[in-house]
Amino acid sequence: MNSLGNFTKAMRLAMVLLVTVAAIAWSQQPMPSLTNGQIAFLRHLLITVGDPHHDPKVRKLNEAAIANIYGLTSDEASVVREAAAQFSHAIKSFEERRNLITANKSQITDADRTNIAMLSQELDMAISTNVNRMISSVRPQTRQLLLLQGDLVSSVAHSNNKKN
């Protein structure tokens, strides 16, 4: 009986180790690329919480609503808050740099347009990086829910565009 008890304990330990190793391996799998619809939805989510032009009280209410709707943990709410702050910083930086290009000009040149387009591309890349960082920092079930919401919104928008 003693050897059977030791065997059972060893098997339990082996199962725990196997499950732990599998969980670690699964969590380190590369996340699939986000679709344009998912990025657009997550960008919209960041706008509602981080747009520097929105009233801070409204942004705070939006943050609480998002946490409630998607069942975010306090850590996940902090991740969204940080991503929104980074989004706000990126928008402000873009606006400041764009204003430097267009300051005191009644018309902008082709070079100005090119520079503004480059700034816009930089902003889009910063937002995509921020969205990817945010979505990879939440629990898998939260990630799936947010990405599903992005797919649904994109699907509805796509079907509405076909009707028009």
Distances (CA, A) of 70 to 76, 116, 149: 10, 36, 10
Average predicted confidence (pLDDT) for the chain: 85
Q: Provide the b/e sequence for 2-15 (b: ≥16 CB within 10 Å).
A: eeeeeeeeeeeeee
Q: What is the 3-state secondary structure (H, E, C) of 92-128?
A: HHHHHHHHHHHCCCCCCCHHHHHHHHHHHHHHHHHHH
Say yes or no to pLDDT of 151 above 50.
Answer: yes
Grade residue 26 by pLDDT with cuts at 50, 70 and 90. Answer: very low
Residue positions counted in the chain: 164
Q: Which two tokens stand for residue 1?
A: 């009986």
Which residue is it, tokens 């699907």?
A: 155
Q: What percent of the chain clears pLDDT 70, i.e. is strictly above it?
A: 79
Distance, CA of 161 to CA of 41 (rounded, Å): 17
Q: Under a CB-based contact definition with an 8 Å cutoff, are residues 60 and 48 in contact?
A: no
Q: Under a CB-based contact definition with an 8 Å cutoff, are residues 31 and 145 in contact?
A: no
Average pLDDT over residues 104-125: 94
Q: Which two tokens stand for residue 91?
A: 């928008």
pLDDT digits (tens, 9 = 90+) for 46-93: 999 999 999 999 999 999 999 999 999 999 999 999 999 999 999 999
